[in-house]
Amino acid sequence: MELVAKLLEATAQVLGEVGLQATSTNKIAARAGVAIGSIYQYFPNKQALIDALLDDRLHRLAALTATQMHAMSATSYPEAAEAILRAAIAFCEAEPELTALLAARTAMPRPGSRDRELYQRGHDIARAYLLAHANDLALDDIELAATISTRVVGNFAPWIALSVTDDRDRERFIAEVVRMLSDWIGWGPRSTQVSG
């Protein structure tokens, strides 16, 4: 619905300008150019609006992840990991105030929650990539690898986006996260893996 989308974007703009505490339904209505009653037709309060906005952004992030991983399906794990990490960082940088709320909400998704469903979509995308490249991986547990890959990117991307301001430091952190994941995943043909 067009009005709901307008209200969500107005909520994102107000949040970005004044922060969570100063955000109000009056400010959101003014930004959207609608009467306050228009908000209450769809949302009972500010928290419901923010929850709907976070749902929207989580869906966008899931779609971005799916698109990025599809585009990287034929590339090496290090290249795919770096691309998805950089895309997630850019997504987080676009709306810093929302990123902090999203990170808090998705850190521990409750079973059965919408957050959990969206996290599962990201996990499934990572698992599909890992399964498609199983011959190049030194992994016994694809599920565990998908979980850890998803969690590492999901936790480092917001932190890098919001906390690492020096470009050289940022590049170093990105390179180290990719190296850490790639080494752990065991990227490379199994025939070249040296067993101890």
| Cβ burial, residue 195 (10 Å; 0-12/13-18/19+) | exposed
Q: Quick: pLDDT tens for 141-168.
A: 899 999 999 889 989 999 999 999 999 9
Task: Determine the pLDDT at residue 196.
Answer: 39
Residues of the chain under the 50 pLDDT cut: 189-196
d(C-alpha 188, C-alpha 193), whole Å: 7
CATH of domain 1-44: 1.10.10.60
Every domain of the chain and the residues it spans = 1-44, 55-190
Token pair in block for residue 112: 């059965």
Task: Determine the pLDDT at residue 188.
Answer: 53
Token pair in block for residue 12: 């994102």
Task: Determine the pLDDT at residue 68.
Answer: 85
d(C-alpha 97, C-alpha 74), whole Å: 35
Task: Determine the pLDDT at residue 67.
Answer: 87
CATH of domain 55-190: 1.10.357.10
| Cβ burial, residue 9 (10 Å; 0-12/13-18/19+) | middle
Q: What is the DSSP letter of 42?
A: T
Residues 6+ apart with CB under 8 A from 154: 88, 106, 119, 122
Residues 6+ apart with CB under 8 A from 135: 189, 190
Measure Cα distances from 81 to 12, 27, 98, 193 in Å.
Answer: 28, 40, 23, 21
| Cβ burial, residue 186 (10 Å; 0-12/13-18/19+) | middle
For CA atoms 153, 77, 64, 175, the dihedral sign is positive
Q: Is the pTM of this model over 0.75?
A: yes
d(C-alpha 175, C-alpha 108), whole Å: 26
